[in-house]
């Protein structure tokens, strides 16, 4: 196991994080395979289990930075249209339209749709998480608000049969959100891909088989 030679001036927590990064097989694999982040393997593993990327032609990536998930989509579906959004800057990705803005901005959905360039998407994927404040209930509520906003957008842009996948925290989506997902999708499941660190509270909710809009 690699240990950092010096930790002068560093907090214990940041030293631990750096050591964990240095010894993380997914970090090493991401570097070797040209992915921008280890998070790419979460999508790869979810896709292996649920077939999320099979035949996709248009994909929206909510919380795109640094771009690992869109890289996976691009490699699996080279001709797919991809549009992503994030508050953080994202280095350009070939064939991916990236917006740097807050997804909760009321102008964001229309701009994302315009960036995608087509009326309907096959997949809306969200790796968004609210900045944590260290208070579990507050963190959960803030992240759930992002998941719900993503769901609302998904129901507006998905084609019938499309899918929505979103990061949730430990405990998964609450009962009200699960009920709402089941109202719009034929199958709703929770999963923790192996690439999610064991000590992480993150899970993903996978909703497939969009039933279509009432209109």
Q: Is residue 161 part of a domain?
A: yes
Q: Look up the domain containing 82 and give its range.
A: 38-210
Q: Is residue 14 part of a domain?
A: no
Q: Is residue 27 part of a domain?
A: no
Distance, CA of 111 to CA of 101 (rounded, Å)? 10
Q: Is residue 31 part of a domain?
A: no
Q: Report the chain's terminal Cα–Cα distance, integer Å.
A: 58
pLDDT attached to residue 73: 98
Three-state DSSP at 92 gives coil
Q: pLDDT tens digit string along 18-28?
A: 555 556 778 88
pLDDT attached to residue 10: 59
Annotated binding residue 86: yes
Q: Is residue 28 part of a domain?
A: no
Distance, CA of 19 to CA of 66 (rounded, Å)? 21
Q: Is residue 33 part of a domain?
A: no
Annotated binding residue 69: yes
Q: Is residue 76 part of a domain?
A: yes
Annotated binding residue 61: no
Distance, CA of 9 to CA of 1 (rounded, Å)? 22
167 belongs to the catalytic site: yes
pLDDT under 50 in the chain at which residues? 5, 17
**Which DSSP string corresponds to 21-89?**
HHT-HHHHHHHHHT-SSTTHHHHHHHHHHH-TTTT-SEEEEET-TT-HHHHHHHHH-TT-EEEEEESS-
Distance, CA of 100 to CA of 6 (rounded, Å)? 36
**CATH number of the domain where residue 66 is located:** 3.40.50.150
Three-state DSSP at 202 gives coil
Annotated binding residue 203: no
- Residue 205, phi then psi, degrees to nearest 5: -105, 135
Strand arrangement of the beta sheet that strand 58-62 belongs to: 96-100, 81-86, 58-62, 121-126, 158-168, 203-210, 185-191
Catalytic residue among 2, 8, 111, 167: 167
Count of other CB atoms within 10 angstroms of residue 103: 20
Domain count, the chain: 1
């Amino acid at each position: 196991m690699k240990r950092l030679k010096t930790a002068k001036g560093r907090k214990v927590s940041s030293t631990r994080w750096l050591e964990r990064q240095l010894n993380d097989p997914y970090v090493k694999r991401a570097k070797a395979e040209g992915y921008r982040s280890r998070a790419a393997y979460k999508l790869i593993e979810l896709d292996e289990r649920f077939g999320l990327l099979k035949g996709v032609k248009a994909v929206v990536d909510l919380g795109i930075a640094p771009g690992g998930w869109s890289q996976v989509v691009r490699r699996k579906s080279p001709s797919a249209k991809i549009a992503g959004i994030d508050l953080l800057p994202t280095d350009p990705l070939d064939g991916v339209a990236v917006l740097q803005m807050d997804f909760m901005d009321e102008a964001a959905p229309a701009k994302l749709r315009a960036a995608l360039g087509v009326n309907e998407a096959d997949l809306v994927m969200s790796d968004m998480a609210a900045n944590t404040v260290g208070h579990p209930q507050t963190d959960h509520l803030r992240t759930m608000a992002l998941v719900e906003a993503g769901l609302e957008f998904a129901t507006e842009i998905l084609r019938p049969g499309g899918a929505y996948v979103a990061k949730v925290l430990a405990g998964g989506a609450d009962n009200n959100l699960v009920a709402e997902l089941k109202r719009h999708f034929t199958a709703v499941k929770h999963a923790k891909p192996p690439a999610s660190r064991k000590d992480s509270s993150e899970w993903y909710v996978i909703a497939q088989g969009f039933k279509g809009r009432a209109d």
